Structure 1
Amino acid sequence: MPEYLSPGVYVEEVDAGPRPIAGVSTSTAGMVGVTQRGPTTGKPKLVTNFLEFQTTFGGFLPEPPPAIRDAWAENPTEGGRWWLFPLAVKGFFDNGGQRLYVKRVFSRGAQAASGTLGSGLVSPITQDAAAGATTLQLGHLVGFTGTDDITVFRGSDNVPIGPAKITAYDVTTGRVVLNTGLQAEVKTARGDYVQKGARDATPSLRFSASSPGSWGKGAQVRISPAVSASLPVLPDPNEGPLFVTALAADAAKDAVSIEVNEVTGLDPDPLPDDVWVLINERRFKVTVAQPANGRVTLTFPAGTAHAPWKTGLTVRRVRRAGAGAGRELRISGSSRLYAGAVTQLDTGDKLTPLHVVSIGSDDVVTFDANTPDLVFETARLQLIESTVDTRFADPGGGSVTETFRNLRLTGDGPGTVVGTLASRSQLVLATTLTGLSTDPAKFPTPGKGSWLPLADDGDDAYGGLTVGDFVGTDGGSGKRTGIVALEDIDEISICAVPGVWSGTVESALVTHCEQLKDRFAVLDPKDGLDIEGIQTFREPFDTKYAALYYPWLVVNDPSTNQFVEAPPSGHMAGIYARTDTERGVHKAPANAVIRGIRTPGGIAQDVAKRQQDLLNPKGINALRFFPNLGQRVWGARTLSSDSSWKYINVRRLFLFLEESIDEGTQWVVFEPNDEALWALVRQTVTNFLTTVWRSGALFGATADEAFFVRCDRSTMTDDDIANGRLICVIGVAPVFPAEFVIFRIQQKTREPELV
């Protein structure tokens, strides 16, 4: 009860009337099967189209080696053609399916492919250059000093083109000046690169495929240093003001002093004894004389050489960042840095690697080593991190490329190479090794080239695959495998293990549906069965939670561009979803055109009417071809011997009603169990069933004919109430399919007319 403790106006919210029940989805499917790659741990993954399936789980599977193929395909009781699973998934989406949860099955002996990096300093060439050229455009200058001996390599075969020496550089453009012309042309399309020194084979970083299987041998990874931020160096506060002036008179070559125009800030009193100026992009140390007649004399140290200059040439002061070498600098934007960050200081004539120790107040950054003697405000501090690129071309269809930028090389948390790949990459994982260095000149590098193929270990180990891998084990939420893992997803309402006819697997799938009571299974028979064979295959089953379809379908395998027989369960799950979306779960998923199969001849075996006369009473749903009508589903029966539940749509309608009422009345739990609550429950359920009846899902001309809802003293005893039980009795009249359409025609004779 609300409390009113002081005078005032109180606004209260109160519940009014029954709470609505929202119908649950009935078109979400869950499938278990062998895929080329994809996650092997965690809950089943949702895919909403076949391209998304290929991106996450890979493309079509090749037929396994004959010994493994025959061990499965020729086993009539515990076999299957599990390598057809991707074709079944494609059939699901071809037939109107929109949401599919996939749980990958894999052999316990499967291994992930891997590759190990050493270290070295390599930079790709990003612009073609002709033989004899003295400049090169590089992808980065991380780890270089600005005066380095390098070797130019041809990327196609890693053959050296020739040595050279860097004499000048521009970090902004990546352009370097060489002391000699190139011995041969270089091409970016060929993957040409430069290398400083030799590569070290000591393992520094290991990449492995994100999931086990031989697919990983087709994956490649590249890690390269990258500048995440370029931060300006701030001048020392004691350096005084900045000024920009111009020559007031011509200056001869190597003149000891020059005259410049007097401007604000150009006064020796607030300036230090030695001042540095920038003339024609070159720094000079000068002493400043007192202004006279609107001019100021700047004097160079003895022996300073320079070119002749003309009047009007700009003279700009550059201030020092500190008085001599030290471990501290003031950096603008120091918040981008962090303790342990790898940086590179660019003073214009030299590149110096530094590691950040701490970031203090007033943008003061402390490094692990001394900076150069002279650092000016024109210098830039570059934050060095890494970029990881991955790529995988799937021979079975589809390809994946990924790029992850601004990653720290060490550590395993968010933003690091290890942590980011573990949480975001679909292709690779990373592990740091003892040889990993934070020195930019010893960056992780493959033994040759720049891309590392994951060529070690990858193995599918299909020879160790068993029916137990499809059934799965229960390790708790998020740790279940196989069919058992479908329990983690409450939204699933249609289940299948396409291509597997093993009695153990299909019994496990049926048991899964019977225990959860909110989903329906679609089973596959063995391929190639005749009419007697399919009847024999059906005999062990008696369940109202599953349906069986015969025969298999003929589809095109895009990976080989050949027609193959495929299990019908994937296509049928899609038809279930399509029918639910277009008409509703009360409509039988039959008399529907099968999409995504060969036209004509998309059904592996012809089923005539006289043959279906034998199959239909036993709950075997036929897939048939009709002239001018196409290839259709021609059956809608479950595998139940109970005539009350012989129709698929009736069973699935009740699953829909039960799950919707279950989820929509959770608010009732722990409410006072009295007349007021009973009335609310009755009204809530009545409103929901009225909506269902109006959609055509229930039989009856009026709502009273279609259903009843009782929740009162007639449904509960005093003992029920005392034990906290609220019992609501619901009766529903489902709409049965018009399975047999009968037109009775009789001959009408003309009667004589009397005049």
Structure 2
Amino acid sequence: MAEYLSPGVYIEEIDAGPRPIAGVSTSTAGMVGVTARGPYTGKPKLVTNFLEFQNTFGGFLPEPEASVRDAWANDPSEGGRWWLFPLAVKGFFDNGGRRLYVKRVVGGGARAASGSLGQGLVSQVTTDAARGAARLQLGHLVGFTGAGQQVQVFRGDDQQAVHTATVSGYDMATRRITLDQPLPAEVRASRGDYVQVGQRGDEQTLRFSAVSPGTWGGGVQVRVRPMVGAALPVLPEPQEGGLFVTRLVADAPEDSGTVEVAAVTGLDPDGLPADTWVQIGPDRFGVQVGRPADGKVTLTLPAGTTHTAWDAGLTVRRVRRGNTAAGRTLRIGGAGRLYEGAVVQLDDGTALTAVNVEAVTGDAVTFDRDVPGTFFETDRIHLIEAEVSTRFTDPGGAAVTETFGNLRFSGDTPANLATALESRSQLVRATALPGLSTDPARFPVPATGSWLTLADGDDAYESLSAADFVGTDGGSGRRTGIVALEDIDEIAVCAVPGMWSGTVESSLVTHCELLKDRFAILDPQDGLDIEGVQAFRESFDTKYAALYHPWLVTRDPSANRDVEVPPSGHMAGIYARVDVERGVHKAPANVVVRGIRQTDGFAQDITRRHQDLLNPKGVNALRFFPGLGHRVWGARTLSSDSSWKYVNVRRLFLFLEESIDEGTQWAVFEPNDESLWALVRQTVANFLTTVWRSGALAGTTADEAFFVACDRTTMTEDDLANGRLICVIGVAPVFPAEFVVFRIQQKTRETQLT
């Protein structure tokens, strides 16, 4: 009860009337089967079309080698044709399915493809260079030391060295190097040509493995290369004073020792350090500043300075130093981008030096050793991080490429290389090995080239067993096989296409019976005759499953031939289609089966005489009718209880039970009295009225279609004392018109008397 303790106006929200119940979805399916690739741990994965299935789990599976195929296909009790699973998934979407949760099954001996990287420094050529050229544009200059460094140029196709030269100059901004000797042959970026510094080491740095087991991983390639995560400016020391910008007031001949500039504020020897630096054109010079006279100031360059001729009007600007004495600290703009252990590359315009960050305090950054040389405010330091690229081409032609930048080799942050790939990559996982170093010159590289191709993946189909399909319960998110479907509450229809194993199908039925919110579609063995499918059906008595016969004939695009496929995948799609178009109360029968061969789409021709034997046993026939096509001609469960012999009746009650269960959770722990009972009655009655109006319940009025009782007649004092609210609901389902009978008799003409 609300409290009113002080005078004022109080605004309150109150509940009025019954809570609405939303009907749950009945068209979401769950399937368990073998796929070419894809996640096999964690919860089942949702796919909403066949293209998405192919991108996630791969395409069609080839028929396994004869020994494996025959061991499964020739076993009448524990066998199956699990390699047909992708065709069954395609049949699901062909027949109107929209949402499918897939749980991949792998054998115990399956192994993921993997490979390791050694150490070295390579940089790919990014722009073609003709024979005789002396400049190369590269992917990066991380780890390079600048002028005087020897490099080798390699062809990317055959890994042959085509040139060895020394770097005479570089430009970090454009990633260009200048060689002391011209190229003896052309260099092409499209060929994968690259520059290598020094020799590659054998010590292992990173191990990559495909994200899931299977031979598919042999098509995965990985590349790790350094990248500039940030280019940060050096800040001047405070004692350096202010800036000035001026211009030449007279031409300066080549290699002249003095220049005259216009006097401006700040250009006075009394306010400047003895060692003052200016930038004229692209170069920096230490100068001595003279006294202003007649609006001009003379700047004296160091003895022996060489330069080109400068014209009057050329800009001259002061550049301040970031370090005036030897030490390990620099003030850096944007130092917050750095972190302890970060690798940075210092560029003073003549040399590149890699150092490690020890500490960051405000804008002061301390390195692990003295800063080499003098740095100015026009210089930049470059934060060095890693970029991982992966690529994979599916046998069907679909290509997957990934690029992850700004990664670190150490630390527990999401930017850590192994952590980032674990959460973001669809292709690979990484493990750090003892040889991993933060030295850019010892970066992870393959033994040859720039890309590492993973190898030694194994599908191990010979190790597959029925137990792999059944699965184990390791808790939420760690279940496997059929058991994993429990993780997804939305699943309403489930199947293990192609498996007729008694162990597997019994587990699927048990799964549905325990959860009581889903329905199973079972497959018989392929090639059974009428007596054989009757014998197969005898093992089941459940109201939570249905069986369809015979198998279907469809096209296998990967083998370019017609194959027989199990009906469960196509039927799950038909269930979904009928639910969406008509409702769960409509029997999923007398509808056309899509995605099969236009003629002879069923593996066997079922006649009416055959169905006279199958229908009473609960085996639903798939039949061809001239002019009507290939149709589902049965809607019975595998139950011996006549109350639950129809698929649509069983699934209607599953829909009602799950909807009421989810829609009345609000009632738990409410005061258990007449007001709550009335609210529950009205809530359920409103929902059932909507269901009745949709045609799902029999009766010309709502009172004929259902009743809802929740009062003293449904609960005793013992129930109330033990916290039980009991609501009794009765509904009249609509049964399918399975036998449409027209009785015709002769009528004798009678004489009409007037």
TM-score range, shorter chain: over 0.9
Letter of the aligned partner of 1:78 in structure 2?
A: E
Letter of the aligned partner of 2:455 in structure 1?
A: A
Describe the SS at the equivalent of 2:533: helix
Greater mean alpha carbon deviation, residues 690-699 or residues 263-272: 263-272
Letter of the aligned partner of 1:284 in structure 2?
A: F
- The residue aligned with 1:259 is 260
TM-fit CA distance, 1:61: 1.4
Q: CA RMSD in A?
A: 1.4
Describe the SS at the equivalent of 2:121: strand
The separation in 2 between residues aligned to 1:731 and 1:658, in whole angstroms, is: 12
- Asked if 2 retains the 8 angstrom alpha-carbon contact of 1:715 and 1:728, the reply is yes
TM-fit CA distance, 1:386: 1.1
TM-superposition CA deviations, 1:300-339 (whole Å, max 9, x none): 1222222222222222222111103321111111111111
1:612 aligns with 2:611: yes
TM-fit CA distance, 1:56: 2.1
Structure 1 residues 720 and 542: alpha-carbon distance in aligned structure 2, compared to 1, 3 A threshold = same
> How many aligned positions are there?
753
- The residue aligned with 1:283 is 284
TM-superposition CA deviations, 1:470-502 (whole Å, max 9, x none): 111112222211111111111111010011000
1:381 aligns with 2:372: no
- The residue aligned with 1:704 is 703
Greater mean alpha carbon deviation, residues 28-37 or residues 262-271: 262-271
1:629 aligns with 2:620: no
- The residue aligned with 1:415 is 415
Structure 1 residues 397 and 508: alpha-carbon distance in aligned structure 2, compared to 1, 3 A threshold = farther
The separation in 1 between residues aligned to 2:311 and 2:391, in whole angstroms, is: 56
Greater mean alpha carbon deviation, residues 552-561 or residues 205-214: 552-561
Letter of the aligned partner of 2:142 in structure 1?
A: V
TM-fit CA distance, 1:589: 1.0
- Asked if 2 retains the 8 angstrom alpha-carbon contact of 1:81 and 1:499, the reply is yes
Describe the SS at the equivalent of 1:197: coil
Describe the SS at the equivalent of 1:126: coil
Letter of the aligned partner of 2:527 in structure 1?
A: G
1:211 aligns with 2:219: no
The separation in 1 between residues aligned to 2:366 and 2:258, in whole angstroms, is: 38
The separation in 1 between residues aligned to 2:176 and 2:263, in whole angstroms, is: 37
1:573 aligns with 2:569: no
Task: Give the unaligned 5+ runs of structure 2.
Answer: none
The separation in 2 between residues aligned to 1:653 and 1:133, in whole angstroms, is: 77
Greater mean alpha carbon deviation, residues 591-600 or residues 59-68: 591-600
TM-fit CA distance, 1:585: 0.6
TM-fit CA distance, 1:410: 2.3
TM-fit CA distance, 1:396: 5.0
- The residue aligned with 2:723 is 724
- The residue aligned with 2:134 is 134
The separation in 2 between residues aligned to 1:359 and 1:300, in whole angstroms, is: 37
TM-score (normalizing by structure 2): 0.98
- The residue aligned with 1:76 is 76
TM-superposition CA deviations, 1:148-178 (whole Å, max 9, x none): 2111000001011111221111122212111
Structure 1 residues 513 and 471: alpha-carbon distance in aligned structure 2, compared to 1, 3 A threshold = same
- Asked if 2 retains the 8 angstrom alpha-carbon contact of 1:389 and 1:403, the reply is yes
- The residue aligned with 2:434 is 434
TM-superposition CA deviations, 1:597-617 (whole Å, max 9, x none): 222232222212221222111
- The residue aligned with 1:113 is 113
- The residue aligned with 1:146 is 146
The separation in 2 between residues aligned to 1:244 and 1:217, in whole angstroms, is: 61
Letter of the aligned partner of 1:70 in structure 2?
A: D
Structure 1 residues 627 and 412: alpha-carbon distance in aligned structure 2, compared to 1, 3 A threshold = farther
TM-fit CA distance, 1:578: 1.2
Describe the SS at the equivalent of 1:62: coil
- Asked if 2 retains the 8 angstrom alpha-carbon contact of 1:58 and 1:394, the reply is yes
- The residue aligned with 1:31 is 31
Matches within 5 A, 1:158-197: 158-197=159-198
The separation in 2 between residues aligned to 1:657 and 1:79, in whole angstroms, is: 36
Describe the SS at the equivalent of 2:235: coil
Letter of the aligned partner of 1:505 in structure 2?
A: V
Describe the SS at the equivalent of 2:553: strand
- The residue aligned with 2:353 is 352
TM-fit CA distance, 1:675: 1.4
TM-superposition CA deviations, 1:408-458 (whole Å, max 9, x none): 1223541111001111212111000110110111110000011101113x2
The separation in 1 between residues aligned to 2:396 and 2:312, in whole angstroms, is: 71
Letter of the aligned partner of 1:25 in structure 2?
A: S
TM-superposition CA deviations, 1:377-399 (whole Å, max 9, x none): 11111111111111122225643
Letter of the aligned partner of 1:725 in structure 2?
A: R
TM-superposition CA deviations, 1:164-204 (whole Å, max 9, x none): 22111112221211111101101111100010111001101
- The residue aligned with 1:341 is 342
- Asked if 2 retains the 8 angstrom alpha-carbon contact of 1:112 and 1:214, the reply is yes
Matches within 5 A, 1:599-748: 599-748=598-747
Matches within 5 A, 1:206-245: 206-245=207-246
Letter of the aligned partner of 1:38 in structure 2?
A: G
The separation in 1 between residues aligned to 2:349 and 2:557, in whole angstroms, is: 57
- Asked if 2 retains the 8 angstrom alpha-carbon contact of 1:60 and 1:397, the reply is no
Describe the SS at the equivalent of 2:659: helix
TM-fit CA distance, 1:747: 3.5
Task: Give the unaligned 5+ runs of structure 1.
Answer: none
The separation in 2 between residues aligned to 1:94 and 1:230, in whole angstroms, is: 53
- Asked if 2 retains the 8 angstrom alpha-carbon contact of 1:324 and 1:373, the reply is no
Describe the SS at the equivalent of 2:271: coil
The separation in 2 between residues aligned to 1:117 and 1:80, in whole angstroms, is: 41
Structure 1 residues 399 and 601: alpha-carbon distance in aligned structure 2, compared to 1, 3 A threshold = farther
Letter of the aligned partner of 2:46 in structure 1?
A: L
Greater mean alpha carbon deviation, residues 316-325 or residues 203-212: 316-325
The separation in 2 between residues aligned to 1:557 and 1:411, in whole angstroms, is: 49
Letter of the aligned partner of 1:512 in structure 2?
A: H
- The residue aligned with 1:9 is 9
- The residue aligned with 1:502 is 501
Describe the SS at the equivalent of 2:682: helix
- The residue aligned with 2:326 is 325
TM-superposition CA deviations, 1:215-244 (whole Å, max 9, x none): 212211111111111111112222122222
Greater mean alpha carbon deviation, residues 470-479 or residues 123-132: 470-479
Greater mean alpha carbon deviation, residues 32-41 or residues 373-382: 32-41
Letter of the aligned partner of 2:659 in structure 1?
A: S
The separation in 1 between residues aligned to 2:337 and 2:556, in whole angstroms, is: 52
The separation in 1 between residues aligned to 2:375 and 2:326, in whole angstroms, is: 8
The separation in 1 between residues aligned to 2:186 and 2:79, in whole angstroms, is: 60
Letter of the aligned partner of 1:691 in structure 2?
A: T
Letter of the aligned partner of 2:205 in structure 1?
A: S
The separation in 2 between residues aligned to 1:394 and 1:252, in whole angstroms, is: 66
- The residue aligned with 2:21 is 21
TM-fit CA distance, 1:749: 4.2
- The residue aligned with 2:445 is 445
TM-superposition CA deviations, 1:20-76 (whole Å, max 9, x none): 111111111111111122222222121222222222222221111111110001001
The separation in 2 between residues aligned to 1:266 and 1:602, in whole angstroms, is: 93
The separation in 1 between residues aligned to 2:403 and 2:565, in whole angstroms, is: 36
Letter of the aligned partner of 2:88 in structure 1?
A: A
The separation in 2 between residues aligned to 1:534 and 1:413, in whole angstroms, is: 58
TM-superposition CA deviations, 1:233-292 (whole Å, max 9, x none): 112222122222221112222222111111222222211112111222111111000111
Structure 1 residues 585 and 638: alpha-carbon distance in aligned structure 2, compared to 1, 3 A threshold = same
Structure 1 residues 581 and 545: alpha-carbon distance in aligned structure 2, compared to 1, 3 A threshold = same
The separation in 1 between residues aligned to 2:412 and 2:548, in whole angstroms, is: 50
Give aligned-pair identity as a percent: 72
Matches within 5 A, 1:79-118: 79-118=79-118
Letter of the aligned partner of 1:66 in structure 2?
A: A
Structure 1 residues 419 and 42: alpha-carbon distance in aligned structure 2, compared to 1, 3 A threshold = same
The separation in 1 between residues aligned to 2:312 and 2:627, in whole angstroms, is: 94
The separation in 1 between residues aligned to 2:741 and 2:265, in whole angstroms, is: 106
- Asked if 2 retains the 8 angstrom alpha-carbon contact of 1:61 and 1:396, the reply is no
- The residue aligned with 2:123 is 123
Letter of the aligned partner of 1:676 in structure 2?
A: S
